[in-house]
Amino acid sequence: MTAAPAFSCQFCHSKFASRNAIFRHLRADGCTSDNPRAPSATTEDPIVKQSLAIWFGYYHVPHDDDNDSNLLQGTGIDNDLGWNEWAGQQVFQAVQQTLETYEIEKTKNDPDSTNGTANNKLLDFQLQESRTQCSLARLRARILQQDPECPAATDVLVMTGTCLQSSLPQLEVALTNLPDALSNGNIQIWACKLLRSDITLHAERSCTQMVYHYLVPLAWMPGAELLQTQWEGWGHRPPTDCLKRFKTALRGAECGMVPLPSQQKKHQQQHKMAVGRFGRLGAKERKAWHNFADPTLRGLAAPNQESVWRVVDYCRMVGMVDNANLVVEIKGDAFLPQQVRRILGTAVAMTHGWIPMDAWETALRDPASLIETVLAPPGRLYLSECRFHFEESFSSGKPLFESDTCGKVLRLGLPGDNGNTRPQEWAQQCLLRSLSSEGTKRAEDQWLKDVQTNVAPRATQSIHELLKVSVPRSELDASALDPAPLDYMDVLTKLRDIVSTGKWPVTSIARSSVLADQGGKTGKAGSFTVINSKLKEQLQTSSGSQVELPLGNQLFPDLAAAVFELEERIAEQTTKVDVAPNGKIGLSNECTSRRPQSTHCAINANAQFQPHVDSGRGAGQSLSIIVGLGDYHDGELRVEGLACDIRFKPLEFDGWALRHWTNQYHGERFSLVWFTPELT
């Protein structure tokens, strides 16, 4: 009889009967290349995996150049280390230090104490370097990263390690000393939870709802003096209706419920539904909240990118601090940089009447809109809570650190059962201390004046322009339009022939997803792509595979040849969209340098595109050229809000990085977009 083959672990060189046994050993014993560990000495005391969930708050990373003047400066996502990541590192190091200190002190006080194994260590807890944190975005889209300078009343950090099963009681005792390992008063540890072995909790991915609080001063409300002087005396009836208007503005930011079945099909064509959610969140719809993201994100926050489809579940006033600041709570599945502050700033402007109150239901919630919004000052926002609905479903709806169902909770920084409010109070008091300086008050007063005189008027004007609908013309007066240049006549004639004969091909699903509803416009609408057949061999060499010409080339070979000939003729007539170092968008009147001929061209007929960025990336040339053809009024191309007249005026721009869309138009409108995509 042949003996069973022996398999060896490449790290600790122990022998096993099968590969599966090696995998079980790696998981259970924590054996790695950096830390080779033999299998458990006895089956009675195996090495087990133990995950720790730390509930902690943080306020401020100390910097040498901190001062009151920089509290109102905007923050982006490019900071090397945000306050949340810094605090997570400090907590992780505190856990390591706590376990090491406990091991040393216990052994020193009781040198005969062992755990009965060959290593003679009490804990032998091997903490892995990897960890997850709710407020980070390492496995999610980068633009879901929390604002770098946003503090937290509570955040959750999950780390994993291995130890002997007999050491678990000692581990629990050791963790009670965790708060003592943090000498920095900017971080508070509220509780620790030893998760059950069958529970897998990934703080970043398992978190289903983020809750933020923003402290809105009464001084920002209309009739502020009346509110502040009579606050204690008006009981249930405020002396003005400004808080009622503020409440209405806040509720307008909440996502609506799923429509009735009769409206479901049409609605799903407009907005993608949230799926895989828990509790009442499952009935919420995803909205493209691109208007409320940091505008410097540009194409990263384009509404055709799924990462910006955020669900705002709740936006209400929930309390008062120091009789001078309203506490506004905003709940959602995740938030884009500056999203919460822009919702709050816009709501304040609406309360004053500086922005129309119905803007939520018109321009601000229209996925085809992109307008300026009001950015509220930083320094008043903090992360209040992180929720895990899947874990709550096992504990009758109790939060993760209020139930022992999924593991044992060690209350380290909370006094008794009524300590839930302490993290909120701690965060609020930290914020109020930093906001009490005269410099901060002056800066916020200046912000409110700037909103009234500059920001809100610009936003209102853009809303009015968006909602302005031209009177439809039954007969377009072509004589009032500049005639088509001779360079374009051949392509324009071929396009009109295809439309008049009804041969326009069906638009792809991907392209249709960014096309706006034509709103009853007559005429064939759609889009298809052709390839430059002269560059077919070059494409095949670049991709390393056979390149098949698309349907557009097969149906309209003469048109395909004509559009690429047109590109060569108009290349030197092209203007360019420039992005200045300060981020402003403008047009360059200088002729662009001779660019390589494009490999692809998108051909569009009567197609009005919603804000989007092009899929994939550009290869070789990173810019696209677009030009409009036909007899039409309006229909400008908007690039990050800049209106560009492209009727027989070719324009070069970065369609992969800059959001762009089509203004409303009347008449027949064709457009050609030449580009060279990156081949995979």
Strands lying side by side in the sheet with 624-629: 526-531, 600-605, 670-675, 624-629, 651-653, 575-579, 585-588
Extract the runs of DSSP E, i.e. beta strands, from 478-584. 526-531, 575-579
Which are the contacts of 496, defined by CB distance < 8 A and separation ≥ 6?
668
* pLDDT band at 290; cut points 50, 70, 90: low
CB atoms within 10 A of CB 70: 14
Q: How much is the pLDDT for 372?
A: 86
Rounded Cα gap, residues 206 and 392, in angstroms:
11
Could you tell me how many helices (H) and strands (E) the chain has, helices first? 17, 25
Pick the range with the lowest mean pLDDT from 33-37, 490-494, 615-619, 662-666: 615-619
Round to whole Å and give the CA distance between 242 and 256: 24
Higher pLDDT, 260 or 674: 674
E strands, 458-589, in order = 526-531, 575-579, 585-588
**CA–CA separation, 448 vs 377, rounded Å?**
10
Q: What is the pLDDT of residues 251-269, one digit of tens each?
A: 888 876 444 343 334 333 3
Sign of CA dihedral 414, 417, 418, 423: positive
CA-based nearest residue to 382, from 139, 134, 185, 155: 155
DSSP state of 401: G
Are 577 and 587 contacting, i.e. CB atoms less than 8 angstroms apart?
yes
Cβ(498)–Cβ(525) below 8 Å: no
CA distance 88 to 96: 13
> Is the separation of the CB atoms in 186 and 59 below 8 Å?
yes
Q: What is the DSSP string of 355-368?
A: S-GGGTTTTTT-TT
Model pLDDT, residue 421 = 56
Closest CA to 598 of 658, 659, 672, 656: 672
Mean pLDDT score of the chain: 80
pLDDT tens-digit series, residues 51-103: 999 999 999 754 444 443 333 344 343 445 788 999 999 999 999 999 888 88
Using pLDDT thresholds of 50, 70 and 90, give the confidence band for residue 391.
Answer: confident
pTM, 2 dp: 0.82
Strands (E), 589-676: 600-605, 624-629, 632-634, 637-639, 642-644, 651-653, 660-662, 665-667, 670-675
Dihedral, 415, 420, 422, 428 alpha carbons, nearest 10: 180
Q: Counting beta carbons within 10 angstroms of the beta carbon of residue 355, is it exposed (0 to 12), middle (13 to 18) or buried (19 or more)?
A: buried
**Rounded to the nearest 5°, which phi and psi values hold at 472?**
-60, 140
In the predicted structure, residue 277 carries a pLDDT above the cut 60: no
- Report the C-alpha gap between 626 and 647 in whole angstroms: 10
Q: Which of 163, 128, 159, 166 is nearest to 49 (CA)?
A: 163
Residue 64: its pLDDT value, please? 43
Kindly report the backbone phi and psi dihedral angles of residue 633, in degrees, each rounded to the nearest multiple of 5, phi listed first. -105, 150
Torsion of CA 398, 401, 406, 412, to 10 degrees: -150
Q: How far apart are CA 457 and CA 453, in angstroms?
A: 7
Structural contact between residues 208 and 390, judged by C-beta atoms closer than 8 angstroms? yes
Residues 223 and 520: their CA atoms lie apart, in Å, by 46
Phi-psi bin for 497: left (phi > 0), alpha (psi -120 to 50), beta?
alpha
Q: Which residues contact 230 (CB under 8 A, 6 or more apart)?
A: 239
**Cα 39 from Cα 30, distance rounded (Å):** 9
Residue 122 CB neighbour total at 10 angstroms = 24
Question: Comparing 542 with 193, which gets the higher pLDDT?
Answer: 193
Q: Supply the DSSP symbol for 197.
A: T
Specify burial of residue 342 (Cβ count, 10 A radius: 0-12, 13-18, 19+).
Answer: buried
Write the pLDDT tens digit of every residue in 534-587: 888 777 777 667 778 889 999 999 999 999 999 999 988 889 999 888 888 899
CA angle 303, 309, 310 (to 5 degrees): 135
Which two structure tokens, joined as six digits, stand for 151?
């503090």
| DSSP letter, residue 232 | G
- Which of 644, 628, 635, 636 lies closest to 665 in space, CA to CA? 635
The answer to whether the beta carbons of residues 18 and 7 sit under 8 Å apart is: yes
| Phi/psi of residue 38, nearest 5 degrees | -70, 165
| Tens-place pLDDT, residues 2-57 | 444 567 888 777 777 778 878 877 877 778 777 777 776 555 667 778 899 999 99
Domains, the chain, in order of start with CATH, read 21-61+80-110+121-201 (3.30.70), 208-259+271-399 (3.30.70.660), 480-675 (2.60.120)
Partners of 160 in beta bridges: 51
In angstroms, rounded to a whole number, what is the distance separating the alpha carbons of residues 347 and 212?
Answer: 16
| Alpha-carbon gap, residue 225 to 208, rounded angstroms | 40
pLDDT at 266: 38
Q: 266 or 498: whose pLDDT is higher?
A: 498
| Pair 432, 322: CB distance under 8 Å | yes
pLDDT score recorded for residue 148:
86
What mean pLDDT do residues 294-322 have?
85
Q: What is the DSSP letter of 514?
A: T
Query: Distance between CA 572 and CA 594 in Å, rounded?
Result: 7
Taking residues 162-175, what's their average pLDDT? 85
